[in-house]
Amino acid sequence: MDRAAPTSVLIADDDRVVREILSATIRREASLRLAAAATDADEAIAAAAAEQPDVAIVDVHMPGGGVRATRGIKRRSPSTAVLALSSADDRETVVKMLDAGAIGYLVKGASAESILEAIESAASGRSSL
């Protein structure tokens, strides 16, 4: 039986605990593969260029900025679907990230189930707001 390749996911967040939680969530799922973990916009852009992940989860307020990271990821890895991740659930932040190329928005503290659903939707090209 021919199995589909796992969905590769890049995590970009300067908070070590958030990176670890997201990494663990991804590693538990056979259908997902952790492509890389980055702590700032420059690392995220470089990792996306090297790994060409299916999905990138990008912290809105990490060093270098989530908007800059999203634009750089989309420029260097156009097929990567970007999910914005933030502790803020405000309209202005959502609009800025969507304008930069994100197709979904997650609020920190979302359940593992919500995160996995957002990754699946993003990998399929569907928005998850």
Can you list the alpha helix ranges (DSSP code H) found in the chain? 16-27, 41-51, 66-76, 91-100, 112-123
pLDDT band at 60 (very low <50, low <70, confident <90, very high): very high
Max intra-chain CA distance, the chain? 47
**pTM beyond 0.85:** yes
Q: What is the pLDDT of residues 81-110, one digit of tens each?
A: 999 998 876 778 888 999 999 999 998 889
Neighbours of 40 (CB within 10 A): 17
pLDDT band at 1 (very low <50, low <70, confident <90, very high): very low
Return phi, psi of residue 14, to 5°. Answer: -80, -10
Q: Which CATH class is domain 7-123?
A: alpha beta
